[in-house]
Amino acid sequence: MTSFTLQTQRQFARSGQLETKHGVIQTPFFMPIATKGSVKSLSSGDMRDLGAQIILSNTYHLLLRPGLEQMTALGGLHRFMGWERPLLTDSGGYQVFSLSKMNKTTEEGVTFQSHIDGARIHLTPELSMQMQAAIGSDIVMQFDDVAAGNSSRERYEEAMERSLRWAERSKKEFEKIHDSNIPPLLFGIVQGGTHEDLRERSAQGLINIGFDGYAIGGLSVGEDRADAYRIAKRVCEVLPQDKPRYFMGGGMPEEIVAYVQMGVDMFDCVLPTRNARHGTLFAWNQSPETIDWSLYQDPHPSTLFYDRVRITNESYQQDQTPLDPYCTCSTCKTTSRAYLRYLFSVQELLAYRLATIHNLHFYLTLMQSLHKWIQTTA
């Protein structure tokens, strides 16, 4: 199985292709988040227009509504939302930990109360695999045990060890479900908090089981950026060269640039979409075509390649220039800062849409620029 093909490397940064059932994705790439089967305020057509290669959806949310049975009857999420490109689903482990009330973890799985109606749900590695299969995911994530950001070493170790056992159960169930010639891809998740030795054991354990790709989980949960950086770097050293690496849930643009230069291939983050809906917009302060990304290897660069625009700021009241002169998105081509500010101030639904289009365009352009930068090394 050669789903991942490395094409070019520039120091540790990699560009390549990841082949899925719904098409080939250029790496490195960013996945906009369609939590409940829609990137908030945008349609599947909008995502195609933006050039998104792949989107991410959340098993936890889709398990609560529409549920496993409905999703099966509907024929999967691609058909349901009219999205024919690749789709990755997380396993639900993180959401159970972060969203549900009264979750209780045993070796068997996690029992939790739905954050919607309080219903009692028992989520196991097996159910997670079944739900991701019902969704029709192209990249399936193992079910994992997620320790809180400030846990003791003991708790991190316990969660990491259990995640390894759940990785085995995930793979076993996955293989039971997918006996077809072209199964989806299955990824393991490296856990272990900010402890390098735990992370190494986790990565090695997953490699021994064998996955199509490996994710770095349990970061971007409030730890120092330097810790996340140190752990990601170490994990990248342990992980095999010929498999894709996925940094889960991060991050700010400069973090993504730094992680790409450590050898990470895949990203997802709520920042562009959530910030957009709160009126915080990313704007290039130079042309993204010509940035030398080697100047931004550190996730704490002294200067940034973009500005954060608080569009609700009064200073934009009569600013009839586009939000971002370097941007070619439909928002920047058709609206002014003054109009965007006004739409936010009167809480028009259009504000959230225009801002989301722009911020996603920013992240997707960032990935294209990084891809091009890596490829031009050759």
User: Minimal distance in Å, beta carbon 87 to a copy of itself?
Assistant: 15
Instruction: Report the distance separating Cα 308 and Cα 143, nearest Å.
Output: 35
User: Minimal distance in Å, beta carbon 184 to a copy of itself?
Assistant: 22
The interface region with a copy of itself, picked from 86-94, 221-229, 350-358, 366-374 by CB under 8 A, is 350-358
Q: Give CA separation, 169 vs 164, 175, 190, 285, 357, in Å.
A: 9, 10, 15, 48, 39
Of 91, 335, 365, 369, the one binding a copy of itself (CB under 8 A) is 335
Q: Smaller CB distance to a copy of itself: residue 247 or 352?
A: 352
Residue 70 interacts with a copy of itself (CB under 8 A): yes or no: yes
Q: Are 304 and 284 in contact (CB under 8 A)?
A: no
Kindly identify the residues of this chain, within the stretch 246-275, that bind a copy of itself according to CB under 8 A.
none
With vertex at residue 118, the alpha carbon angle to CA 114 and CA 123, rounded to the nearest 5 degrees, is 35
Of 334, 375, 376, 377, the one binding a copy of itself (CB under 8 A) is 334
The interface region with a copy of itself, picked from 90-98, 259-267, 294-302, 351-359 by CB under 8 A, is 351-359
DSSP 114-170: -TTT--EEEE-HHHHHHHHHHHT-SEEEPP-----TT--HHHHHHHHHHHHHHHHHH
Of 113, 151, 345, 368, the one binding a copy of itself (CB under 8 A) is 345
Residue 342 interacts with a copy of itself (CB under 8 A): yes or no: yes
Q: Are 109 and 127 in contact (CB under 8 A)?
A: yes
268 an active-site residue? yes
Residue 72 interacts with a copy of itself (CB under 8 A): yes or no: no
User: Minimal distance in Å, beta carbon 275 to a copy of itself?
Assistant: 15
Residue 73 interacts with a copy of itself (CB under 8 A): yes or no: yes
- Kindly tell me the burial class for residue 215, based on how many C-beta atoms sit within 10 Å of its own C-beta (0-12, 13-18, 19 or more): buried
Residue 301 interacts with a copy of itself (CB under 8 A): yes or no: no
90 an active-site residue? yes
Residue 79 interacts with a copy of itself (CB under 8 A): yes or no: yes
Q: Are 264 and 27 in contact (CB under 8 A)?
A: no
User: Minimal distance in Å, beta carbon 213 to a copy of itself?
Assistant: 29
Rounded to 10 deg, the angle between the 196-209 and 225-238 helix axes is: 40
Residue 336 interacts with a copy of itself (CB under 8 A): yes or no: yes
Q: Smaller CB distance to a copy of itself: residue 74 or 304?
A: 74
Question: b/e per residue, 295-325, with b = 16+ CB within 10 A?
Answer: ebeebeeeeebbeebebeeeebeebeebbbe
Per CB under 8 A, residues contacting a copy of itself are 36-38, 40-45, 61, 65-66, 70, 73-75, 79-82, 317-318, 320, 330, 334-336, 338-339, 342-343, 345-346, 348-350, 352-354
Cite the active site residues.
Answer: 90, 268
